[in-house]
Amino acid sequence: MLMSILLYDGFTTLDIVGGYESLARIPNMQTEFVAKEVGIYAADTRALGLYAWKTLEDAKGTDILYVPGGLGVYAAQRDRQILDFIRKSHETTTWTVGICNGVEILATAGILTGVEVTTNYFARERVAKLGGKVLKTRYHRDGKIVTGAGVSASADAGLFLTREIAGQKLAERIQLGIEYYPDPPFGPKTVDEASDEAKAKIVDFEKRGEEILASIPRQF
């Protein structure tokens, strides 16, 4: 089985790594990182990069298409090559995965019309306007589309999909292996219980996402 993880400038690292840590451990799983061009793509922190070793043009056909979010989502939504790649790949995938506001890219590509999905709370309205039926859950499956909510929910979605592919026993062993037993040190238990002040600050941050991304120099 082949998993193709999409890279673009300004992705959020945990959106990828949370799911990768479980899915890449499925026996016989091959993983490739794909992007418009071969090379290093910077995360939205600008201090970490991941290497795409296959171009979108060369990445023809995959079992799992995995699309992360990040501050770079807004530029990716305007990129015809990325959107065409998602549409074409989705035609033949076994699973299509969207994490955080990466779900917006899937929605912009036109593959979420009438599909039940989850996404980061600040992206809910935008995904709904693009045709998705947005749920307030950590992860969700509708047919072959699996979506995860904000950033850390990538781990939940990854473990869920691991179970769907390889069974409960393996998923539980991987969960133990990565010791994923969340116990946040503070705050509410769900995003919807967070304070209005905190949510307003994050929403403002995201609205200025492209401006902020452009203002942070790459450290490599």
Give the tens place of pLDDT for each residue, 145-192: 999 999 999 999 999 999 999 999 999 999 999 999 999 898 888 899
Sequence letter at residue 57: E
Give the tens place of pLDDT for each residue, 18-27: 999 999 999 9
pTM for the full predicted model = 0.97
Half-sphere exposure (Cβ direction) of 45: Cα atoms closer than 13 Å:
8
Domains of the chain: 2-215 (3.40.50.880)
Q: What percent of the chain has pLDDT over 90?
A: 95
Give the tens place of pLDDT for each residue, 47-84: 999 999 999 999 989 999 999 999 999 999 999 999 99
